[in-house]
Structure 1
């Protein structure tokens, strides 16, 4: 995972003081590559999400459930469904294909949220130089040039909505939605963090709860472990 490269970066920084000048130059090139890769792929699983949920009726203490995709790509939906199913099962419910006690409906959406621009300026300085001509010392003053670079990053808003209803009466019992905005446009990558926040303290109500959740969070990691170790949890900037 690209985020793991940061560990190598930190280790390299601490090792600088015990290396030769040539080794330091080599290390700087290596660290530059690490930073470039991290910038392109990013630690995309981290979110600062906004969570809202309401409890409309008493949830049964146990029983069976079925899942239903309301809106969103069906291919990615099956993967998100796996995570939601895990979260519901942890509450003491069992999945079934017929006559469930509760129906868990879900939808997800990704749309453009504009862009953000950043600028940085680098100063290149040519040091002062002196030379001797005959009996006279001449000094060439130092010069500096400034270069400003501007980068623009597209932003995307990702939202997951989950609703739990009584399968027999259709009565809505609980509903939650979590939205987050960032540069990653792949909701599957951020879904573990989104759902970890959504089901925190389930089924208690949440009102505009703002929280940062990363892939290092135990609840998010638990959902990621539902997929093969080879799963790519990175995201490329667009």
Structure 2
């Protein structure tokens, strides 16, 4: 009689254990299916962010082809060195180095690859009387409000800081030389709102063996697009490098260009 009871207890234990294992498998399967439903789209493809390919920003929304009436800085070469120009250029370059590293260029656009067409300065050389002139144009929008595709990050706010005049008011002081235009407004507007435009265009060249800012112009966001400026070059300058500062995409430059 005792042996029959022991066998019955053993059989019940075996049945109970088998049922528990089966139930655990069903629960696990349901859990896997639920997880799959959460991460898969209608076609069964994962919708996890990790599977989305990253799309580099393009410049189609800020590229402005053609030309606008150029700002004319005068028919005579500037008096150099111009300390306000030097201070403004140094501020932009220091901010760029601190926030983004090297100045962006066609060869090294950094995180803004794809935006070269609208940011790398275009330069044409000509002659006025006995002086060489450089016309610089940036094929870029002026005064567009808000962030464009690919820019809503800290870099955008940081780039705007680079457009602000420093405490000494160097950008505004550039007007004393007749070449700053509305420079004071340009920096103030950039700091007050996320207005997308080119704040500054300037040229660097070797003068008497020293790297010198040989022309600088500050723009307001309401100026015509694309921003264009004519610079009269000092005598003896054989190469120039053109720079521009964008409120959202930092400081850009050309390679060293031979004056022709």
Q: Would you call these one fold, judging by a TM-score over 0.5?
A: no
TM-score by length of 2: 0.21
Whichever structure has more strand as a proportion of its residues is 1
TM-score by length of 1: 0.23
Whichever structure has more helix as a proportion of its residues is 2
